Amino acid sequence: MKLTASNIISAIGQLPKDRAYQYINPKTKNQIEIVNVTYPEGPILIKRYNPTKGETSHNAKEESISPQMIWRIANAFFPSQPINFDRVLGASYNTRAVLETLLAHTSQFYYCYPGRIEIISSSSQIKGGHKHLIWYPEQPHELGVIGQIDTEIVISEAPNVEVFYDSLTVPDDLLSGKLDIDIQRRHAQMQIALIAIGKQLNYKTWIAQNDKGIIYKNKRIGDMDGVIPSLQSSGTVISAFNDALRAALFIDCIWFKNSALLGLRG
């Protein structure tokens, strides 16, 4: 099953708008109110305020959860696989905890604390994990109530590594012109260039699940020619191995020739 932004909008659109929603973390005193949900893919307008500080919905400002943010989260979800919002979104979007909370109130999403593997020197042990959200479309809970579920899933959290480039030049004939000026992120430029190179070499290209919603020339890069929509149904060498599939989900780019893996970046 594939989650889309319209699925998320439909789910949140079912939540009552005449009430305030508590954050998942009970220590957070702010409350969330849904002002408007725009179909089919957003945005979602919300208000948040702290009653313990005398704040009310009346004087709270309206904030927006953008379609871009909703798509990035939708692309990261697979059934029964927990995701960490901060890892998917990084420091982007100051409403990410709001979206996480609203989803946890819908019937198909739960929050959980999967274990994490801590590796020190040559030894490893399982530690308590951080909060994740998990999608269980076949196991709904009561609408409007935060859903929590226990899980025996254990996650290996690889450290983030940043790579810096002095410049990025893509031949004009590769993309039929320069990269759109609106694409400012170097990471997005690299993803688009790698897709184009793979296409020129007749390779199939896998792009990280959480990057498929990047927009280039009014089109999601996940929908570009040559991009693999799903690793499970790709027929590649890793499609038959669940551990390999999970490990590959957030690798920036993988090239395949027929079913063989040629190289990866990420």
Q: Which residue has the higher pLDDT, 106 or 129?
A: 106
Residue 209 lies in a domain: yes
148 lies in the same domain as 180: no
pLDDT at 218: 79
User: With a threshold of 0.75, does the pTM exceed it?
Assistant: no
Closest C-alpha among 176, 225, 210 to residue 70: 210
**What stretch of H or E contains 248?**
helix 242-248
What mean pLDDT is predicted for residues 181-203?
A: 76
pLDDT at 173: 47
Residue 146 main-chain phi, psi, to 5 deg:
-65, 130
Q: Which of 59-63, 134-138, 210-214 is predicted with the least confidence, judged by mean pLDDT?
A: 210-214
Residue 162 lies in a domain: no
54 lies in the same domain as 105: yes
Residue 33 main-chain phi, psi, to 5 deg:
-125, 130
Residue 90 lies in a domain: yes
Domain count, the chain: 2
Q: Which residue has the higher pLDDT, 170 or 65?
A: 65
151 lies in the same domain as 75: yes
pLDDT at 177: 47
90 lies in the same domain as 185: no
Closest C-alpha among 159, 153, 262 to residue 206: 262
44 lies in the same domain as 128: yes
Is the Cβ–Cβ distance between 32 and 102 less than 8 Å? yes
> Considering 93, 126, 155, which residue would you say is the last residue of a domain?
155
pLDDT at 260: 64
250 lies in the same domain as 126: no
Rounded to the nearest integer, the mean pLDDT of the chain is 83
Considering just the CA atoms, what is the radius of gyration of the chain in Å?
20
Residue 205 lies in a domain: yes
78 lies in the same domain as 128: yes
> Considering 155, 190, 209, which residue would you say is the last residue of a domain?
155
197-247 residue pLDDT tens: 888 888 889 888 888 888 787 788 888 888 988 887 777 777 777 778 888
What mean pLDDT is predicted for residues 100-104?
A: 97
User: Could you tell me what percent of the chain has a pLDDT over 90?
Assistant: 45
22 lies in the same domain as 151: yes
Q: Which of 128-137, 151-160, 187-196, 205-214 is predicted with the least confidence, judged by mean pLDDT?
A: 151-160
Domain that holds residue 231: 172-265
What mean pLDDT is predicted for residues 25-49?
A: 95
Residue 165 lies in a domain: no
pLDDT at 122: 63
**Sequence-distant (≥ 6) Cβ neighbours of residue 120 within 8 angstroms:** none
147 lies in the same domain as 182: no
pLDDT at 166: 40
Closest C-alpha among 143, 51, 69 to residue 102: 143
> Considering 127, 155, 183, which residue would you say is the last residue of a domain?
155
61 lies in the same domain as 105: yes
Q: What is the 3-state secondary structure (H, E, C) of 30-55?
A: CEEEEEEECCCCCCEEEEEECHHHCC
Closest C-alpha among 115, 113, 107 to residue 147: 107
Burial string for 115-140 (b: 16+ CB within 10 Å, else e) reads: eeeeeeeeeeeeeebebbbbbbeeee
44 lies in the same domain as 104: yes
